[in-house]
Each structure stands twice: as C-alpha cells, then as structure tokens.
Structure 1
Amino acid sequence: MQPIKHASSIDRTKNWRVLIYGKPGVGKTSAIRNLDGKTLVLDLDDSSKVLSGAPNIDVQPFDRSKPSEEWKEFLKNLAERVSGYDNLVIDNVSAFEKDWFVERGRASKNGIGNEIQDYGQWANYFSRIMTMIFMDAPVDVLVTAWENTREVTSETGQSFSQYAPAIRDSVRDGLLGLTDVVGRVMVNPKTGGRGVILEGNDTIFAKNRIDGRKSASIETLFEFGGGDDVHTASVSAEAGKPSAPKAGAGK
C-alpha cells in the first residue's frame, strides 16, 4: 500500500485525465494542438491529418482491422513508450469500440454478427485498457469520443435525452468515473468559435473536478487552474438550453 499523504499536498493539475466528446468535425482532434509540451497521439480513427505540421506532436498509427493485437502491442512497457512525452492522447475510443465489435463479429460462428458473450467481454476488456492507461501512464492523458444521447431521469422524476460520449453504457460510466474532466465540444454557428461545456445538466454530461470553470474556449481548455469561464452563450445558443421533458415524464 502506498504511503498516506496530506490533502494539502495533492496537485489536482498533475497527470490530469480529460475526455472531450462531440459530433464529428467539431475540432476534437485539432484541439490536440493546444496541449503544452510534447504529445504522443494514438490515432484510433485515422484523423491525424489535421495535425499536419505540428512541431511537438508524434502520431502512432493504428491498424483498425486488428484492434486487439494493436492494443496489446501499444500497452507493452507503456511507461517506457511515453517516456519523453508530456501528453498521451487516445483519439476516438468510439471508433475503437466499433472496430472491436467488427473484429469479434469476424470471429463469430457466422462470421458477421456478434455473440452474447462479446458484450460482457467488451466491458471487461475496455475497462482493463483504460484503467491501465489512466493508472500507469505518468503523463497527462486526453481521450476523445463521438457523442450520442442517452436517456436519464432527473431527481424530480422527469426523463431527458442527455448528450454523452458515444460509448456503450456498460463501460461509459466506469470511464467517466476515472476522468477528472469531461467536456462537450461545440461550435457557435454564428461565429464558428469552438468551446467546451464543463458543467453538466439534465441535457449535457460534463464535469470538472480540477478547477472552477464551467466552460472554456477550445484554445484555453487545457490551462487548468487559471483562466475565466467562456459564457455558455458564446459557445452555442443551444448549449445550456434544457430540452423539453418527454411526454408522461414524472408520472
């Protein structure tokens, strides 16, 4: 067991774990350019072209046809692999999830569909991978994902559709529990500016346990411990607007 430490000595900004999610094309991968220091990107969805010319970013290509084998190789001597880097980016776990199920489908009896045991195996497999990344990588870690909606029920009994990272329910909550910051990336349709919602509500899953910001511009997202909020309205007029509860909700 590790030695006891006083809470006053805890540095909330050291080796942070951040997940950002959003629709394709909103700038999740481009946001990697705003990280300080040297960065290694595990490119799970072949989107690294937008990083062309970045001087402090190295990209590890990923063969999407054999994701299990690629992950096994990547995780060998993880601490040594990220030695000399300040940041590790796992770019698009949603794509990885999709590719893993395709791989398992090929190995099924009919060579196409997934079998019941695949879903339980996925939960264990993904959890082990992300726990290893978060616990063993001695660097800041950024994870990106697509977005979808999930059904949630508020304390008042109303049901809402909430934006959340596009990962299966069986593994999503475990991953989000390990993460210091979860933000939804959005684009202001009027200005084209990109911002990140860092405070959750009934319609958006988000959290920030590093500093007090409720939102940030994409350029200042990783400046933890300082900076001011970007007003939600400057990100998108719809960003913090609760959707109407479903018919019959709360009854």
Structure 2
Amino acid sequence: MVLKTTNAAQINRTENWRVLLYGKPGQGKTSAVKNLKGKVLVIDLDGSGKVLAEHENIEVYKFDRTHPTEDMTHVLRELPKMVKDFDTVVFDNITAFQLDWFVERGRTSKNGIRNEIQHYGDFTNYFLRIITAIYDLPINIYVTAWEVTRDLEMEDGTKITQFVPQIRDQVLNQLLGLTDVVGRIKVNQKTGGRGAILEGNDSVYAKNRIDDRIICKIEELFDFETSPKK
C-alpha cells in the first residue's frame, strides 16, 4: 500500500499546538491561561482555577482529586465530544495529578499508605496512555507542571543541576518529546515581570519547534509566529 504523505511546505506549525509551561508554584502558569485566544476549557487538576475568575471565555472543570483515576477516565471520555466547542484545552498542573494518583494507589497497598513497587511501573504505562489520549485530541493543548531539579553528570565528568518539569523520569522524556513548546517560567525579582525560557541548555530543559523565539514575555507565550522556522 502506498504511504500517504504531506508535502513539508504544506505543514502548519501552529495547528493543534502542544505547549507545556513549568515553574515553581505561584509564578503565573495558571494566570497565563488568560492570554489564550478564543474559547478555553480548563481541567483544574489542583484547584488553582480561582485566579481565572471573571473571564467569560474560560470554562473550568473542577477535577476530583480524591478519585483521580476515575475522573481522568471521565474527562478523556467526554472531551472528544466537547472539543468542537473550544479552541484550547488546558490541563492545569499535571504534577498534582501525578501526586494524587500515587496517593490513591497508596490507599490500596497492604498498609493503606505506602506505595508498592508495582505502582511505579503501573504509573509509567498509565501516564503514557493518558498523555497520548490528550495529545491526540484535535485541538490546542496547554499543560502546566511544577518544576524540580535533577543532577546530571556530563561526558567530561562535570556535574550540573538541571531544571525540568516535575514528572517522573520514566515518562518525562516521552512527554517532552511529544510537546511542541516546553518553557520554564521565570519572574524578574526587580520588576515582577514574567517570562518564559524557550530554548534549552545544560541547566534548563526547554524547546521551541514552532517558531524562532528563545525567550518571550508570558503575555506573548501563545503568540506564535506564522512564518516558517529557519
């Protein structure tokens, strides 16, 4: 059977984009939702939706954190029916969902608290299934996460500390590989202004495969250039 191909000149970089922004709690990841154009659906995974009050173009679904597996199944079952009514779907704080999932699984362990070894393998398979289902939706996707640091050893033996989204290492690379733009939010301590780092280095995981920006104001995060990336 002949493979169906698309001429690269016809590929639209900004159609159904996937953006992940990570940073410390309280730095403005949720507030960035206010800058999204069109109708927005927010899956509020950590209760931060209050900061979006009074914005009529935003609908907020308050996620059930006490039953994360059941409610995520419900969300992913209903979303395909709803995307035609929205321009962007936001999963606000995937880190909180990860933590809640392990708490829920801990309740099923022998002592009712501590996670068992098989839970970690189960999460790897589960998370990869749900992120694939989310990213397969025919709509723009914005995901937020907390940040964490991890220690890396370079080829020359130098040890560095790298900032990355707070997602388990076993699934982090797959998530970031599927994402078009990964940014780290930074706050200017002098002015209070917020920006996003969009180009990675040894100390910061970031990338941008939509346009040429390496940094931007947080208010301009979703203002993608329409010209082809050089």
Superposition map of 1:101-112 within 5 A:
101-112=102-113
2:159 is matched by which residue type in structure 1?
S
TM-score, normalised to structure 2, is 0.95
1:159 shift after superposition: 1.9
Match of 2:125 in 1: 124
Distance 1:34 1:154 in 2: 38
Alpha-carbon RMSD: 1.4
CA distance, structure 2, for counterparts of residue 112 and residue 77 of structure 1:
31
User: What is the aligned partner in structure 1 of residue 174 from structure 2?
Assistant: 174
How far has the Cα of 1:151 moved from its partner?
1.7
Q: What corresponds to 1:59 in structure 2? A: 60
Question: CA separation of 1:186/1:226 partners in 2, compared to 1, >3 Å: closer, same or farther?
Answer: farther
Match of 1:233 in 2: none
1:97 is aligned to 2:101: no
SS of corresponding position for 2:204: coil
Q: Distance in 1 between matches of 2:152 and 2:173?
A: 13
- Report 1:121-160 matches (<5 A): 121-135=122-136, 137-160=137-160
CA contact (8 A) 2:47 2:62 kept: yes
Supply the AA of the counterpart residue of 2:206: A
**Which residue in the other structure is 1:36 paired with?**
37
**Aligned pair 1:223/2:218, yes or no?**
no
**Structure 2 residue ranges without an equivalent (≥5):** none
Distance in 1, matches of 2:102 and 2:119, equals 8
Instruction: Classify the secondary structure of the residue corresponding to 1:119.
Output: helix
- CA distance in 2 between counterparts of 1:207 and 1:155 reads 22
Shift of 1:202: 1.1
Relative distance call for 1:157 and 1:209 in structure 2 (3 A) is farther
Q: How many residues align?
A: 226
Bigger mean CA deviation after superposition, 152-161 or 50-59: 152-161
In the alignment, residue 81 of structure 2 is paired with which amino acid? E
Partners of 2:42 and 2:92 within 8 A in 1: yes
- Alpha-carbon separation, structure 2, partners of 1:226 and 1:22: 27
In structure 1, distance between residues paired with 2:87 and 2:33? 12
1:21 partner amino acid: Y
Give the SS at the match of 2:61: strand
CA distance in 1, matches of 2:226, 2:191: 25
Retained in 1: the 8 A contact 2:14–2:226? Answer: no
- CA shift for structure 1 position 82: 1.9
The correspondence of residues 10-49 of structure 1 with structure 2, limited to 5 A, is 10-49=11-50
Question: Percent identity among equivalent residues?
Answer: 57
User: What's the counterpart of residue 199 of structure 1?
Assistant: 199
User: Which residue identity lines up with residue 189 of structure 1 in the other structure?
Assistant: Q
Counterpart residue type for residue 12 of structure 2: D
Amino acid paired to 1:197 = I
What are the ranges of 5 or more consecutive residues in structure 1 without an aligned counterpart? 228-251
Matches within 5 A, 1:48-87: 48-87=49-88
SS at match of 1:190: coil
Amino acid at match of 2:39: K
Q: Distance in 1 between matches of 2:108 and 2:166?
A: 24
Q: What is the CA-CA distance between 1:150 and the residue it aligns to?
A: 1.1
Displacement of 1:77 in angstroms is 4.2
Letter of the 2:183 counterpart:
G
User: SS where residue 185 of structure 1 aligns?
Assistant: strand
